[in-house]
Amino acid sequence: EDKVVQSPLSLVVHEGDTVTLNCSYEVTNFRSLLWYKQEKKAPTFLFMLTSSGIEKKSGRLSSILDKKELFSILNITATQTGDSAVYLCAGTNNAGNMLTFGGGTRLMVKP
Amino acid sequence: GAVVSQHPSRVICKSGTSVKIECRSLDFQATTMFWYRQFPKQSLMLMATSNEGSKATYEQGVEKDKFLINHASLTLSTLTVTSAHPEDSSFYICSAWDAGIFHEQYFGPGTRLTVT
């Protein structure tokens, strides 16, 4: 059975801190690892990682995938209160049509 | 990017009634759509995979007679919660798979169902 595990479950930091969120996966016929940010509604897409060792960046967020060790990390530098959200990672299969979600990491950034 | 809409965004219904939720892909054809349920402070749980023109595939533990899924066209899938009970109150999210170049799944904005 496919499994995606995220850690920590929750995290409280202060503005300006840097955080690292972890995601490990066991997905049959793995193709990609996706990161999402979820505030009050549906998840919004952040990154899709398909290749090992290639960092993807978007502003203060970056992410990298290790296909040998089967994990990914999401880094957020200089956190802001607007970064407070649940961050979800999901593994997708070869066809790209099945997502297995992790349990999420709830991040709270205090002023 | 591709857009997926859901309707309604919020619905309150009485126990025993049925509620239909629509999921539409607005600018692409989705042969496959997915229905997720999310309880407070929990992750998304896949309920079923909806394939256009064929029967939906339900995940273990999801009652197919209670959660009726119809994927009548390449842009529309519906989820009907039949004989709703308070424990069905949840956030229901659909996603549509664009099997084109990007092989992306796009999420709808979700429907908040409250059963009283």
**Is the Cα dihedral A104, A108, B1, B7 positive or negative?**
positive
Q: Is the pLDDT of residue B36 over 90?
A: yes
Q: Which residues of A touch B95 (CB under 8 A)?
A: 99
pLDDT, tens only, A60-85:
999 999 999 999 999 999 999 999 99
Helices (H), B14-96: none
* pLDDT band with cut points at 50, 70 and 90 for residue B1: low
CA dihedral for A42, B97, A87, A1, sign (positive or negative): positive
Give the minimum alpha-carbon distance from B55 to chain A in angstroms, rounded to a whole number. 17
Position B100 scores a pLDDT of: 67
**Amino acid B44: pLDDT:** 87
B-chain CB neighbours of A45 within 8 Å are 107
Report the residue of A21, A33, A37, A41 to disrupt the B interface, i.e. the one with the largest count of B CBs within 10 Å: A41
Nearest of A34, A23, A7 to residue A99 by alpha carbon:
A34
Quote the CA–CA distance of B93 and B34 in Å, as a whole number. Answer: 8
Q: What pLDDT score was predicted for residue A41? A: 78
| pLDDT, tens only, B52-69 | 888 899 999 999 999 999
Give the rounded distance of the alpha carbon of B57 from its chain centre: 13
CA distance B9 to chain A (A): 10
Give the integer Cα–Cα distance in Å for A85 and A96: 25
| pLDDT band of B30, cuts 50, 70, 90 | confident
Higher pLDDT among residues B66 and B99, named by residue: B66
Q: What is the pLDDT of residue B2?
A: 66
B97/A42 touch (CB, cutoff 8 Å), yes or no: no
CB atoms within 10 A of CB B15: 11
- Partner-chain contact A42 B34, CB within 8 Å: no
Range of lowest pLDDT (A34-38, A47-51, B85-89, B97-101): B97-101
**Distance, in angstroms, between A36 CA and closest chain B CA?**
11
Question: Per the CB < 8 Å rule, is B95 touching A88?
Answer: no
Query: Would you state the structure tokens that stand for residue A82, as one six-digit string?
Result: 């607007």
Å from B45 to nearest chain A CA? 8
What average pLDDT does the segment B83-94 reach? Answer: 95
Q: What is the pLDDT of residue B102?
A: 58
User: What's the average model confidence in pLDDT over B37-41?
Assistant: 85
**Residue entry with tokens 């978007």:** A58
- Tell whether A101 is within 8 A of chain B (Cβ): yes
Q: Which percentage of chain B shows pLDDT scores above 70?
A: 94
B31 phi/psi in degrees, rounded to 5: -70, -25
Q: What DSSP letter does each residue of B79-92 carry, written as one string? A: EEE-S--GGG-EEE
- Nearest-CA neighbor of B68 among B85, B83, B46? B83
Q: Are B77 and B33 in contact (CB under 8 A)?
A: yes
What pLDDT does residue B106 have? 85
- The answer to whether A3 and A89 have CB atoms below 8 angstroms apart is no
For residue A76, what are its two tokens? Answer: 């957020």
Residue A69, phi-psi category: left (phi > 0), alpha (psi -120 to 50), beta (remainder): alpha
Overall average pLDDT of the B72-85 stretch: 94
**CB–CB of B44 and A103 under 8 A?**
no
Which residues does chain A have with pLDDT short of 50?
none
Contact: A88, B104; criterion CB under 8 Å = no
Strand pairing partners for A64? Answer: A73
**Residue A4: its pLDDT value, please?**
95
